[in-house]
Structure 1
Amino acid sequence: MKINIPYWGEELNISLPKQNVGEIVYPNTVELRPEKEVISEALKNPLNSPSFENFIKGNEPILFIINDATRPTPNAKIIDLLWSKIKNKDIKFIIATGAHRGASKDEYIELFGNHYSELLNKTISHDAKNESENIFIGKTQNGTEVYFDKLVFKAKKIVYITSVEPHYFAGYTGGAKSFLPGIAGFKTIEQNHALALKSTAKALITDGNPVREDIKEAYDLLAKNKQIFSIQTVLNKDHKIYYCVCGETHEAFNMATGKAKDVFSVEIKDKADIVVAVAPYPMDIDLYQSQKAIDNSKLALNENGIMILISSCRKGVGGETFLKLMSSARNPDDVFDKISKGYKLGYHKAAKLAEIMKWASLWAYTKLDPKLLENIFIKGYWNLQKAIDRALEIKGNEKIMFLMDASMTVPRVAPRILHKNKYIYSPTSEKIKSKKSINFDAFFDD
């Protein structure tokens, strides 16, 4: 049986005996309406806010915040729809890079589409490491020192465009995450992301999630004296706009997370001994971002199983700190020992990977050198078919599960009911928690 797998704008083809093909998992299918209609309705009917047209009235400068190219946010589509209303306004754009590098020319074109040339000189990429460009505004209850880009700090009227999907430690992307980490200082991001090591920082959870609550508090410090209009989208499995909600940040975000869960929280019949985790474009930009696919896929993998990551990693590894920590460790346990001596931004990625490596094998088909991957306890393959065949040799006549959009799909195992002395699959919306976890809370003094 032939299986087609998306890979950097093309398809990979592998062959499998039919009896070895397990579940092929995509985000849930949802009914779509015309994208312009969805966005226009949201702009006219925002939550706890004037309509977009009323919001932008007057001559006051307007700052737009957009996500960078590591996110699937449909920036160009939305800017195109807004263009007739904003083109004659005093506008500037800032790309919310967080701690990522600045946008390349190709990424600028991708982000702005038809309006690249008109907006190029009105746009900057946020630089988290440039201390002179980030202003301190206070501390959160967790002690996070909050620095935000001075362009955002000085702006009175802000519009931001984002997309809401599951996030492996912040619960979901979107909402106030456009500000932290989006336009925050490096120290702020580092202190906030250290909270990702806590056990309550996980996908689909916002209440009680220390990372998300810290983000919200930091945002509120900034927002109290500003006019802010959010445009928050939810995409379907093909990155088409399924839902859009606008207006006040927190209310709109809460509405969007429910819709995102409908798309990306996917029920599976059972866990598998072999799971193929596909990180599709744009989350395949590097290994640092592809780790999200690994973290989601662990929820579908049996203990002592094999996970095979498929990601082009077209821009390399990403996250130098994360790579150095993993490469310097003798084994996964040593990763935790090093983190316990002091956290640096990127260590949360290493911790999440090492957690999985304690109970499963991690392989990868990427453009990265297998020798490099071996240094961070990942078995690399240049040939995907060989990786699949070898996994079957090791695990025997098992079914392989394919998560075709593992970066955003959060699998949950359906419970079983006892029927005539046999357990059978019982579809439900109830979430089943993974049994395997590491207690990272020991790293914190509460």
Structure 2
Amino acid sequence: MEFSLLYGRSDLTINLPPSIGIREIVKYPMPTVEDGDGPILQSFADPIGCKPLSELARGRKNACILICDITRPVPNGRLLPPLIDTLIKAGIDHEQILILVATGLHRPNEGEELRELIGSDEIFSSIRIENHFARDREAHVDFGVTSAGIPIGIDRRFVEADLRLVTGLVEPHFMAGYSGGRKVVAPGVAYQDTILSFHTAHVLEHPRAVNCVMDGNPLHEAQIEIIRRIGEIYAVNVAIDDKRLLGRITFGEIETSHLEAVRFMRRYAEVDVDRKFGTIITSAGGYPLDRTYYQTVKGMVSPLDILQEGGTIIIASECSEGMGSGEFVTAQEEFCRRGTDGFMKMLARRSVALIDEWQTEMLIKPLRHGSIQLYTTGLSEGDLARTGIEPVTDLREAIMESVHRQGDSEIAVIPEGPYVVPRYRSAG
């Protein structure tokens, strides 16, 4: 029996004996849109909750387009050319169009990496492209606070643009329910105090701050309140299949167009499974998501609903860039010193989170229910000691040992990692 996992820019293939039953959990088959600009231009002409893009752009002095950073496989090379061409034809000079990379608190994307992110040499060479810097206080407009007391600071370049546009990938998100839409604005181009207030333990430990849940999710509700405070934002949201082909494009008012894309994606990314498993094999989603251990945590959280109590999640992630930020490394070291209870008690005392410690908090969620093992070729011995989980060097051997330990020869395999969220649904 053979299966493959997304790993870096290629796949890992594992062979198991026929005595092992493999339940492969993948997205439901998704229809895809035809190649070319036609489907994208059609979404601009047939928007959700607003006028067509060509009419919205007419008479505007300038435009700011938010794009996700390098951690998201958004097909910018396909989206940006017809988007920018539509703006120029409507009368906005190309020099008055800014592409702003919504980095949140991630590092900036520069050089060849930025060219790769844009996906079009013509756009890369002709349109101004800049990164968001969340730690620069003066670069943000103060909108006061949300009803929950979260301070609102948003990148001035976006706020002051005459036409504000967002592009985003709609996929399950382990805190905000689904990514895309409002999330590209906050935390995408939010001030650090906004982001740090989003990620406190009292928000992330809320039972609704989980994958695929938006109703009653405090993070989602804060994001919606923020985009409404800013006013007039339009979004191009896309959904992709397991081969990263476009399945849906929605353009329109940011809130309503995003919800339509979420409704579409739910039908494919949320997969019903009729049993729980003692052994789950998954990935961190392959390149570009699995470049760091920080992003790898998402793949550990996604299959929680089908993990038997005391079971094992084995995750494969290249981690070609190592652990992630220095702040995340510090949080991991603190976790390794204090243990689960001590680390969570420390977080519970904070009214504002420290940068990137929330990812360690999310790592703790699956550890409360079972064990996690990591296969990677990108981390040093020192980094492996900071992961807080058990490293393995042979995936086949780790699977066979888990099967023996669990006393269950059927395993769950999730090749696409966090892009698929299995839901336990009893057969009865």
Aligned to 1:434: none
Give the 5 Å matches for 1:210-229: 210-223=218-231, 227-229=232-234
Letter in 1 for 2:373: W
* C-alpha distance in structure 1 between counterparts of 2:385 and 2:425, whole Å: 35
Letter in 1 for 2:25: V
* C-alpha distance in structure 1 between counterparts of 2:123 and 2:43, whole Å: 28
Verify: 1:180 aligned to 2:186, yes or no: yes
Q: CA RMSD in A?
A: 1.9
For residue 401 of structure 2, give the secondary structure of its aligned residue in structure 1: helix
- Aligned-pair distance for 1:37? 3.6
- Aligned-pair distance for 1:292? 1.0
Q: Is the contact between residue 8 and residue 291 of structure 2 (CA under 8 Å) also seen in structure 1?
A: no
Verify: 1:162 aligned to 2:168, yes or no: yes
Letter in 1 for 2:3: I
Letter in 2 for 1:354: I
Aligned residue pair count? 414
- Aligned-pair distance for 1:216? 0.8
Q: Is the contact between residue 208 and residue 214 of structure 2 (CA under 8 Å) also seen in structure 1?
A: no
1:110 maps to which of 103, 107, 116: 116
Letter in 2 for 1:181: P
Give the 5 Å matches for 1:210-289: 210-223=218-231, 227-279=232-284, 280-289=286-295
- Aligned-pair distance for 1:228? 2.6
- Aligned-pair distance for 1:243? 0.8
Letter in 2 for 1:11: D
* C-alpha distance in structure 2 between counterparts of 1:308 and 1:120, whole Å: 45
Letter in 1 for 2:385: E
% identical aligned pairs: 23
- Aligned-pair distance for 1:59? 5.2
Give the 5 Å matches for 1:6-405: 6-35=6-35, 36-58=37-59, 60-87=61-88, 88-89=93-94, 90-115=96-121, 118-119=124-125, 122-194=128-200, 195-223=203-231, 227-279=232-284, 280-328=286-334, 329-342=337-350, 343-366=353-376, 367-405=378-416
Question: CA offsets per residue over residues 268-313 of structure 1, 9 Å max, x none?
Answer: 2311111012112221121111111111022221111111111111
* C-alpha distance in structure 1 between counterparts of 2:12 and 2:233, whole Å: 44
Aligned to 1:442: none
* C-alpha distance in structure 2 between counterparts of 1:200 and 1:414, whole Å: 19
Deviating beyond 4 angstroms after TM superposition, the runs of 4 or more aligned structure 1 residues are: 116-121
* C-alpha distance in structure 1 between counterparts of 2:109 and 2:153, whole Å: 21
For residue 221 of structure 1, give the secondary structure of its aligned residue in structure 2: helix
Q: Is the contact between residue 335 and residue 354 of structure 1 (CA under 8 Å) also seen in structure 2?
A: no
Aligned to 1:440: none
Q: Is the contact between residue 273 and residue 398 of structure 1 (CA under 8 Å) also seen in structure 2?
A: no
For structure 1, which runs of at least 5 residues remain unmatched after alignment? 418-446
- Aligned-pair distance for 1:92? 1.1
Letter in 2 for 1:196: L
Q: 364-373 or 60-69: which moved more?
A: 364-373
Distance 1:240 1:273, change over 3 A: same
Distance 1:108 1:376, change over 3 A: closer
Question: CA offsets per residue over residues 135-171 of structure 1, 9 Å max, x none?
Answer: 2121101111111111112112112111111111101
* C-alpha distance in structure 2 between counterparts of 1:59 and 1:190, whole Å: 34
TM-score normalized by the length of structure 2: 0.91
* C-alpha distance in structure 1 between counterparts of 2:322 and 2:359, whole Å: 16
* C-alpha distance in structure 1 between counterparts of 2:252 and 2:52, whole Å: 8
Q: Is the contact between residue 115 and residue 124 of structure 2 (CA under 8 Å) also seen in structure 1?
A: no
- Aligned-pair distance for 1:394? 2.7
TM-score normalized by the length of structure 1: 0.88
* C-alpha distance in structure 1 between counterparts of 2:246 and 2:22, whole Å: 29
Question: CA offsets per residue over residues 184-204 of structure 1, 9 Å max, x none?
Answer: 011111101222232221111
2:418 maps to which of 395, 407, 417: 407
* C-alpha distance in structure 2 between counterparts of 1:344 and 1:197, whole Å: 16
- Aligned-pair distance for 1:371? 4.6
Q: Is the contact between residue 147 and residue 184 of structure 1 (CA under 8 Å) also seen in structure 2?
A: yes
Letter in 1 for 2:390: K
Distance 1:26 1:250, change over 3 A: same
Q: 120-129 or 81-90: which moved more?
A: 81-90
Distance 1:37 1:18, change over 3 A: farther
* C-alpha distance in structure 2 between counterparts of 1:75 and 1:193, whole Å: 28
* C-alpha distance in structure 2 between counterparts of 1:117 and 1:260, whole Å: 29
* C-alpha distance in structure 2 between counterparts of 1:59 and 1:321, whole Å: 41
- Aligned-pair distance for 1:356? 1.9
Greater relative CO (CA pairs within 8 A, separation 6+): 2
For structure 2, which runs of at least 5 residues remain unmatched after alignment? none
Distance 1:396 1:111, change over 3 A: same
- Aligned-pair distance for 1:320? 3.1
- Aligned-pair distance for 1:121? 6.2
Aligned to 1:439: none
Question: CA offsets per residue over residues 21-69 of structure 1, 9 Å max, x none?
Answer: 3211111111223143432221101122111111222351111111111
Q: 59-68 or 394-403: which moved more?
A: 394-403
Aligned to 1:421: none
* C-alpha distance in structure 2 between counterparts of 1:93 and 1:397, whole Å: 51
Letter in 2 for 1:325: A
* C-alpha distance in structure 2 between counterparts of 1:176 and 1:257, whole Å: 12
- Aligned-pair distance for 1:3? 2.2
* C-alpha distance in structure 1 between counterparts of 2:385 and 2:208, whole Å: 30
Question: CA offsets per residue over residues 192-227 of structure 1, 9 Å max, x none?
Answer: 12222322211111111100000111111111xxx4
* C-alpha distance in structure 2 between counterparts of 1:52 and 1:128, whole Å: 29
- Aligned-pair distance for 1:102? 0.2
Q: Is the contact between residue 96 and residue 183 of structure 1 (CA under 8 Å) also seen in structure 2?
A: yes
Q: Is the contact between residue 332 and residue 386 of structure 2 (CA under 8 Å) also seen in structure 1?
A: yes
